[in-house]
Amino acid sequence: MTNKRRFLAAASALAMLAGPAVAERGADGELKIIYWQAPSTMNPFLSGGTKEVEAASMVIEPLARYSNTGDIVPALAAEIPTVENGGVSEDLKSITWKLKTDVMWSDGTPFTAEDAIFTWKYCTDPNGGCAQTTYFEGVSAMEAIDAHTLKISFTEPKPFPYTALVGSESPIIQAKQFADCMGAKAPECTEQNFNPIGTGPFKVVEFRANDVITLEANPHYRDPAKPAFAKVTFKGGGDAESAARSVLQTGEFDYAWNLQISPEVLTEMESAGKGKVVVAFATSVERIHVNFTNPDSALGPDDRSVFKADGSNPHPILSDIRVRKALSKAIDPVVLTEIGYGKTGKPTCNVLPGPDIYASTANEACKTQNLDEAKALLDEAGWVPGSDGVRVKDGRRLSFLYQTSTNAVRQEFQAIIKEWWSQIGVETELRNISASVFFGGDPNSPDTFQKFYADLEMYTNNFSGVDPEAYMANWLCDKAPTPATQWQGENINRYCNPEYDALAAEFAKTAGLEARAEIAKKMNDILMQDYVMFPLVHRGGTSAHANSLEGVLINDWDSELWNIADWRRAK
Question: Which residues are within 8 A (CB) of 381 and not within 5 positions of it... i.e. 6 or more apart?
Answer: 320, 322, 323, 326, 393
Please list every residue from 126 through 185 that binds other proteins, using CB under 8 A. 126-134, 184
Contact 218, 198 (CB under 8 A): yes
| Of positions 11, 31, 33, 46, contacts other proteins by CB under 8 A | 46
The span from the CA of 64 to the CA of 75, in Å, is 5
Q: How does DSSP classify residue 476?
A: -
Closest distance between other proteins and the C-beta of residue 184, in Å? 7
* Class of residue 469 by CB neighbours under 10 A (exposed 0-12, middle 13-18, buried 19+): buried
Q: Contact between 548 and other proteins (CB under 8 A)?
A: no
- 264 binding other proteins? (CB under 8 A): no
Instruction: Please identify which residue in 5, 444, 498, 514 interacts with other proteins, judged by CB under 8 A.
Output: 444
Give the C-alpha separation, 126 to 178, whole Å.
16
Asked if 478 touches other proteins (CB under 8 A), the answer is no
Report the DSSP beta bridge partners of residue 256.
Answer: 34, 544
Asked whether 270 and 277 are in contact (CB, 8 A), the reply is yes
- Cα 549 vs. chain centroid, distance in angstroms? 25
Our CB check for other proteins shows the closer of 385 and 441 to be 441
Residue 440 interacts with other proteins (CB under 8 A): yes or no: yes
Are 44 and 132 in contact, with CB atoms under 8 Å apart?
yes
Residue 262 touching other proteins (CB under 8 A): no
Under rule CB under 8 A, residue 547 binds other proteins: no
68 or 193: CB nearest other proteins? 193
Q: Which is nearer to other proteins, 78 or 437 (CB)?
A: 437
Among 24, 27, 31, 41, binds other proteins (CB under 8 A): 41
CB of 488 to other proteins, least distance (A): 4
- Give 43 or 94: the residue with its C-beta nearer to other proteins: 43
- Whether 560 contacts 468, CB under 8 Å: no
Q: Which of 79, 91, 211, 429 binds other proteins (CB under 8 A)?
A: 211
Which of 157, 99, 94, 52 shows the shortest CA–CA distance to 561?
52
Q: Which is nearer to other proteins, 94 or 524 (CB)?
A: 524
Contacts of 20 (CB under 8 A, 6+ apart): none
CB 211 within 8 A of CB 10: no
CA angle 431, 433, 434 (to 5 degrees): 155
Nearer to other proteins, 188 or 380 (CB): 188
Helix (H, G, I), strand (E, B) or coil at 515: helix
Nearer to other proteins, 137 or 223 (CB): 137
If one asks whether residue 300 binds other proteins (CB under 8 A), the answer comes out as no
How wide is the angle at C-alpha 199 spanned by C-alphas 197 and 200, nearest 5°? 105
Instruction: Give me the residues paired with residue 542 across strands.
Output: 279
- Based on CB atoms, which residue is closest to other proteins, 312 or 434? 434
- Alpha-carbon distance of 469 to 100, in angstroms, equals 29
Q: Which is nearer to other proteins, 352 or 565 (CB)?
A: 352
Binder of other proteins out of 74, 314, 386, 441 (CB under 8 A)? 441
Q: Which is nearer to other proteins, 312 or 486 (CB)?
A: 486
Residues 68, 74, 75: CA angle, nearest 5 degrees? 90
**Is residue 88 a contact residue for other proteins (CB under 8 A)?**
no
Count CB neighbours of 511 within 10 A.
Answer: 16
Binding piece for other proteins, criterion CB under 8 A, among 89-97, 152-160, 206-214, 504-512: 206-214
Residue 28 near residue 39 (C-beta atoms within 8 A): no
For residue 443, cis peptide bond before it (omega within 30 degrees of 0): no
Using CA atoms, how far apart are residues 316 and 296, in angstroms rounded to an integer? 9
Give, as one character, the DSSP assignment of residue 110: B
Q: Which among 20-28, 207-215, 381-389, 395-403 is the span making contact with other proteins, rule CB under 8 A? A: 207-215
Q: Of 229-248, which residues contact other proteins (CB under 8 A)?
A: 233, 235-239, 242, 245-246
* Under rule CB under 8 A, residue 249 binds other proteins: yes
130 contacts 122 by C-beta, under 8 angstroms: yes
Cβ closer to other proteins: 209 or 513?
209
Q: How far is the CB of 53 from other proteins (least distance, A)?
A: 9
# chain residues binding other proteins, by CB under 8 A:
65
- Size of the chain, expressed as the number of residues it contains: 571
The single residue among 79, 145, 436, 505 that binds other proteins, judged by CB under 8 A, is 436
Write the interaction track for other proteins spanning residues 48-67; mark x where CB under 8 A is met and - where it is not.
Answer: xxx-----------------
Give the contact letters, 18-37, x = binds to other proteins (CB under 8 A), - = no. Answer: ----------------x---
For β-strands 212-217 and 202-208, DSSP reports them as antiparallel
Residues that bind other proteins (CB under 8 A): 1, 34, 38, 40-41, 43, 46-50, 126-134, 184, 186-190, 193-194, 206, 208-212, 214, 233, 235-239, 242, 245-246, 249-250, 252-253, 272, 436-437, 439-442, 444-445, 461-464, 486, 488-490
